[in-house]
């Protein structure tokens, strides 16, 4: 048994916040064994997980208590801290970013008691990145690349010349060196015909769905032609795992697009050309980030296709930042009771030994949480490190017949509503109590994620897939008693049954249902 168990409550039952907002809640410490505590610390942090090496950033830390913790005691502490502008919660292919409230009891000469719980951070009301000046790239911008490429090429060619007498083993390094030398000087060779090329991308920071302007200017030195000018955009997830000789770089292409900005241009010496083109940023939640050895990068690439001559090629990094959310009063924190909220980073706590938890009279000793705020719905009490929490009474299967309305029609209405707006919440609330017949095309199953879930579903399974004969994504939660049935369902099969709507999941942009 752990020396201490930690229980977390949040002011918001769904634990969903926006960047730059304040997180408010309460942590309760239940002491199982008497120990000396050098420091009882609460931390707010983000952490990456996935294919790459983990990275972590703490943005709040508060010392709550120092002294002896006596077995049987329970102590409650209110917490409040501000979320940084970035990163936001992100679940991708190689990289995942999540936010946590973490507790640690520093116990000398023993393993520390720890516990943490997760909350979700969506894009905020303020831009996380200020726009930078226009990105201007001329021939001088590639000078460093040419010098570096030349050095690498000479190293390969030198190794090749040394190995050449040994059965021709040096041919491959020499070929690699010549290839590097070609790519390093490709643009310089192209500019023997085109003259200096200026490529401007504006703005250098944009939101999903916005447009980036591309302007390419040059004045030819020689006669000739350009087959076409191609402008494209690429987004890539990059995660590095391991180190030293075991270091591996993983990449996943998030987006790739290209368009023809101009065709069949005739080059006349001294006659300048300016080509302007707009390229749309994709609708995405993969915003530009650099977290340790995990990154999401976006570039605009430009290519001038010159027949029978090296092409001129340039890649310009740009930043994709979150679209600012409309100020939704439903997302704002309400102060606890009538007290004024404290400044960011403050922590109010009950006197040592006081608690907001009470033991039941039943012999089991299960704990029941008091609501965090009388003015807000009661948050679920989540345990992170052992102990039992009393389940709520079983939900009886309603006797009402399934709704005559189509679940597909309801889902389409939710999809059409503005993302992160209160409209989706209003639609879901209007459907509470209604039952729907559903057929799910199964993609996979997983253990039910515990942040939002009713105790009856918390240890259950979730089926993830799409509504039958549509591409509408849904997730259906099952009770723990149905786990064996759900685990027996294979991917690419179907499941049919009666469900009720739980909520719209903005993070995964899908409809969340529960069996009845």
Cβ(512)–Cβ(474) under 8 Å? yes
Do residue 185 and residue 226 come from a single domain?
A: no
Contact predicate 492/469, CB 8 Å? no
Q: How far from chain centre, in Å, is Cα 62?
A: 26
Shared domain for 201 and 178, answered yes or no, is: no
For residue 338, the model assigns a pLDDT of: 34
User: Do residues 119 and 11 both lie within one domain?
Assistant: yes
b/e 362-372 (16+ beta carbons within 10 angstroms → b): eeeeebebeeb
| CATH at 411 | 2.40.50.140
Look at residue 397 and tell me if it is in a domain.
Answer: no
77-103: burial string, b at 16+ Cβ within 10 Å, e else: bbbbbbbbbbbbbbebebbbbbbbbbb
What is the per-residue pLDDT across 35-66, written as a single tens digit (0 to 9) for each? 999 999 999 999 999 999 999 999 999 999 99
Do 10 and 27 share a structural domain?
yes
Take residue 254 and report the two structure tokens written for it.
């998030």
The pLDDT score that the predictor gives to residue 144 is 57
Cα–Cα nearest to 380, from 366, 391, 365: 391
Which residue, 388, 384, 352, is CA-closest to 367? 388
In a domain, 395, yes or no: no
CA distances from 73 to 3, 247, 354 (A): 11, 47, 8
Q: What is the pLDDT of residue 299?
A: 94
Can you tell me the distance from the alpha carbon of 27 to that of 382, in angstroms, rounded to the nearest whole number? 10
What DSSP string runs through 118-185? EEEEE--SS-SSPPPPPEEE-GGGGHHHHHHHHHHHHHHHHHHHHHTTTTTTTHHHHHHHHHHHHHHH
Residues 73 and 13 in one domain: yes
pLDDT < 70 regions, the chain: 1, 125-150, 153, 156, 160, 167-168, 170, 177, 180-185, 324-405, 418-421, 447-454, 458, 506-508
pLDDT attached to residue 425: 79
242 in a structural domain: yes
Same structural domain for residues 231 and 298? yes
Q: What is d(CA 356, CA 365) in angstroms, rounded to the nearest whole number?
A: 15
Contact 128, 322 (CB under 8 A): yes
Whether 360 and 346 map to the same domain: the answer is yes
Q: Residue 290 and residue 97: Cα distance in Å, rounded?
A: 11
Single out the residue of 236, 241, 237, 235 nearest to residue 51, CA to CA: 241
Of residues 470, 476, 460, the one with CA closest to residue 513 = 476
Give whole-number Cα distances, 463 to 336, 405, 496, 514, in Å.
Answer: 37, 23, 12, 10
pTM given for the model: 0.60
3-class secondary-structure state, position 408: helix
Of 151, 173, 195, the one marking the end of a domain is 195
| 133, 139, 142, 148 alpha-carbon torsion, rounded to 10° | -150
How many alpha carbons fall within 13 Å on the CB side of residue 502? Answer: 22
Beta pairing partners, 271: none
- The CA distance from 357 to 75, in Å, is 9
The per-residue pLDDT for range 302-328, each reduced to its tens digit, is: 999 999 888 888 888 999 988 765 554
CATH code at position 223: 2.60.40.640
Containing structural domain, residue 165: 139-195
Q: Which residue has the tokens 């008091």?
A: 370
The per-residue pLDDT for 31 is: 92
Residues 203 and 292 in one domain: yes
Q: Is residue 213 part of a domain?
A: yes
Work out how many domains the chain is built from and give that number.
4
The dihedral formed by the CA atoms of 229, 235, 241 and 244, expressed in degrees to the nearest 10: 30
Handedness of CA 487, 488, 493, 497 (dihedral sign): negative
In a domain? residue 393:
no
97 belongs to a structural domain: yes
Residue 213, burial from CB neighbour count under 10 angstroms (0-12, 13-18, 19+):
middle
């Amino acid at each position: 048994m752990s020396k201490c168990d930690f229980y977390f409550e949040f002011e918001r039952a769904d634990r969903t916040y926006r960047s730059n907002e304040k997180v408010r809640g309460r942590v309760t410490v239940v002491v199982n064994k008497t120990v000396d505590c050098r420091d009882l610390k609460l931390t707010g942090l983000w952490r990456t997980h996935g294919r790459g090496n983990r990275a972590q950033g703490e943005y709040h830390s508060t010392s709550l208590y120092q002294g002896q913790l006596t077995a049987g005691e329970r102590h409650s502490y209110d917490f409040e801290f501000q979320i940084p502008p970035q990163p936001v919660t992100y679940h991708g292919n190689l990289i995942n970013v999540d936010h946590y409230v973490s507790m640690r009891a520093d116990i000398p000469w023993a393993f520390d008691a720890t516990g943490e719980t997760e909350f979700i951070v969506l894009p905020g009301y303020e831009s996380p990145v200020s726009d930078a000046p226009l990105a201007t790239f001329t021939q001088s911008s590639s000078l460093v690349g040419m010098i570096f490429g030349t050095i690498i090429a000479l190293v390969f060619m030198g190794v090749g010349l040394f190995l050449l007498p040994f059965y021709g083993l040096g041919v491959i390094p020499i070929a690699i060196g010549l290839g590097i030398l070609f790519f390093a000087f490709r643009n310089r060779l192209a500019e023997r015909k085109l003259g200096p090329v200026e490529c401007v991308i504006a703005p250098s920071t944009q939101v999903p769905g916005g447009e980036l302007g591309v302007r390419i200017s040059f004045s030819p030195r020689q006669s000739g032609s350009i087959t076409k000018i191609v402008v494209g955009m690429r987004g890539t997830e990059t995660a590095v795992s391991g180190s030293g000789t075991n270091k591996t770089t993983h990449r996943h292409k998030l987006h790739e697009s290209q368009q023809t900005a101009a065709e069949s241009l005739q080059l006349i010496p001294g006659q300048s050309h300016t080509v302007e083109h707009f390229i749309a940023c994709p609708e995405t939640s993969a915003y530009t980030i650099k977290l340790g050895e995990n990154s999401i990068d976006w570039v605009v690439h430009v290519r001038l296709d010159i027949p029978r001559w090296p092409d001129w090629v340039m890649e310009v990094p740009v930043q994709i930042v979150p679209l600012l959310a409309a100020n939704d009063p439903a997302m704002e924190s309400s102060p606890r009771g009538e007290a004024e909220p404290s400044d960011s980073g403050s922590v109010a706590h009950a006197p040592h030994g006081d608690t907001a938890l009470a033991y039941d009279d039943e012999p089991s000793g299960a704990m029941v949480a008091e609501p965090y705020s009388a003015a807000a719905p009661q948050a679920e009490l989540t345990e992170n490190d052992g102990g039992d929490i009393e389940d709520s009474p079983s939900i009886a299967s309603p006797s009402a017949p399934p709704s005559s309305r189509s679940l597909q029609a309801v889902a389409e209405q939710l999809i059409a509503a503005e993302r992160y707006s209160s409209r989706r919440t209003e639609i879901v609330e209007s459907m509470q109590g209604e039952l729907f017949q559903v057929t799910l095309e199964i993609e996979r199953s997983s253990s039910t994620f515990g942040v939002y879930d009713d105790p009856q579903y918390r240890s259950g399974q979730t089926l993830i897939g799409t509504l039958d004969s549509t591409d509408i994504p849904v997730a259906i939660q099952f009770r723990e008693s149905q786990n064996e049935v759900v685990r027996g369902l294979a991917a690419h099969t179907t499941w049919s049954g009666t469900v009720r709507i739980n909520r719209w999941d903005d993070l995964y942009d899908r409809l969340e249902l529960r069996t009845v």
